[in-house]
Amino acid sequence: MAADSDSLVASVVLRCAPANSKSNILGSGSENDILKVAVVGAGGTGAFYGGALAQNGHDVTMIARGPHLEAIRKSGLQLNSVLLGDFNLKTAATDDMDSVGPVDLVIFAVKSWGTEAAIAAMGGLVGDETMIISTQNGIDSERLLTEAFGPNNVLGCTATVSAIIDKPGVVSQNGGPGSLVIGEMAGGSSDRVTKLVDDCVKAGLAAEAHDNIVVALWQKFVFICALSGMTALTRKPIGDIFAQPTTTEMYRQVLAEVAEVGRAEGVDLPESTVEDTLATIKAREPFIIGSMGHDLIAGNPIEISLLNGRVVELGKKHGISAPANFAIESALRPHENGA
């Protein structure tokens, strides 16, 4: 569910559009419907969404690093998905991100600790009409991207999928709906959002437009703070968590605290948010572990500051106690920088 980080040390270029195709930089007047896309952070989440678009004929460039990069250079990117099927995307590789040039769409999928470096390095990808969507967890990504590139380039987006790097060059998507909810940060509808959602749906993704994306971002934040926080805390999947009354009640308490903080921030979250979110996650595959849980188990840095720590921080701002989130933050802070 979280974006799997591949920072910008090196990049993998996926040229999956037909050789005679031309990208359609929005506003250029081209009649060609092929999008030029850059996936900044081609880990599990980025590779899943970018791979879907590439498999559907769009011109996709993926940014990766280390052994993952080398494996893609050697054998292509293998995507194994319960939603999209299994396929291999043959690729060319480069470490020169500036050579990609401006794109129609940036999918911003780095982990939180790679955000500043990624934003600093991706300026060459962003033209006047480039759309940027973030699949990151948390509620701060759109603000940071807007500060760097301006409000015209940044759309709000929530991504919900369970996808991980199985081994270098191989990404597996075994759970989650593979959804994208996209909207203008200022609210309302727009032609560019409608077109982007349509392109994503045609690529097999469960995409939809939202006319109040800030509410959607906070609904995802409620969802992911509980899922990632509780599965990381217990080192157990959701099926084991909901098998116990105590951990089920703590899960509900995490949800309630995040929703209360969101309303204090001025977000019009529905009163049914907690029970709706709990019902949604209980209906998911019992083996699901949130991205922070996967990272903790693997010894990677974790996004505790971005998630439960952020809830505690905002709670203090509004005089709201968040003991369940504080317990998760306290237990996981020693693991923040990985093993």
Q: Which domains does the chain have, with CATH numbers?
A: 11-211 (3.40.50.720), 215-335 (1.10.1040.10)
Long-range pairs for 113-119 at CB < 8 Å and ≥24 separation? 113/5, 113/301, 113/303, 114/5, 114/6, 114/7, 114/8, 114/41, 115/141, 115/144, 117/7, 117/8, 118/7, 118/8, 118/40, 118/41, 119/144, 119/145, 119/148
Q: What is the pLDDT of residue 50?
A: 94
Give one DSSP letter per residue of 289-334, joined into a string.
--HHHHHHHHT----TTTTHHHHHHHHHHHT---HHHHHHHHHHGG
Q: What is the pLDDT of residue 95?
A: 63
Instruction: Report residue 33 as tokens.
Output: 């419907």
Q: What is the pLDDT of residue 244?
A: 98
Q: What is the pLDDT of residue 70?
A: 87
Report if pTM > 0.95: no
130 vs 18, 126, 172, CA distance in Å?
21, 5, 29
Q: Which residues of the chain have pLDDT under 50?
A: 1-23, 25-31, 92-93
3-state secondary structure of 337: coil
Q: What is the pLDDT of residue 9?
A: 28
